Amino acid sequence: MLGTDPTDIAFGVAYVDAGATAADDVDGDITGSIVVDTNTVGPHTITYDVSDAAGHPAVQVTRTVNVLPL
């Protein structure tokens, strides 16, 4: 995971990750498999959890994203 933790964003603004990446020794770059969901005002702990094509999980990392009210 790259970037700051925690990070702040405004409500209603699409969250663009500061630089989490995922790679696998067989599948290569699997960054597109990372899912981030922030829909509610307040602090959110984003857990980055990704698996390769064979289902082998990566070590989870977390980031706190504070969604700020308008």
Residue 38 clears pLDDT 70, i.e. is over it: no
Q: b/e map of 25-57 (b: 16 or more CB within 10 Å)?
A: eeeeebeebbeeebeeeeebebebebebeeeee
How far, in Å, CA of 66 to CA of 70, rounded? Answer: 13
pTM: 0.60
Question: What topology is assigned to 7-68 in CATH?
Answer: Immunoglobulin-like (2.60.40)
Domain layout of the chain by residue ranges? 7-68
The pLDDT tens digits of the residues spanning 21-33 come to: 778 888 999 877 7
Q: Which residue has the tokens 């790679």?
A: 23
What is the per-residue pLDDT for 34? Answer: 64
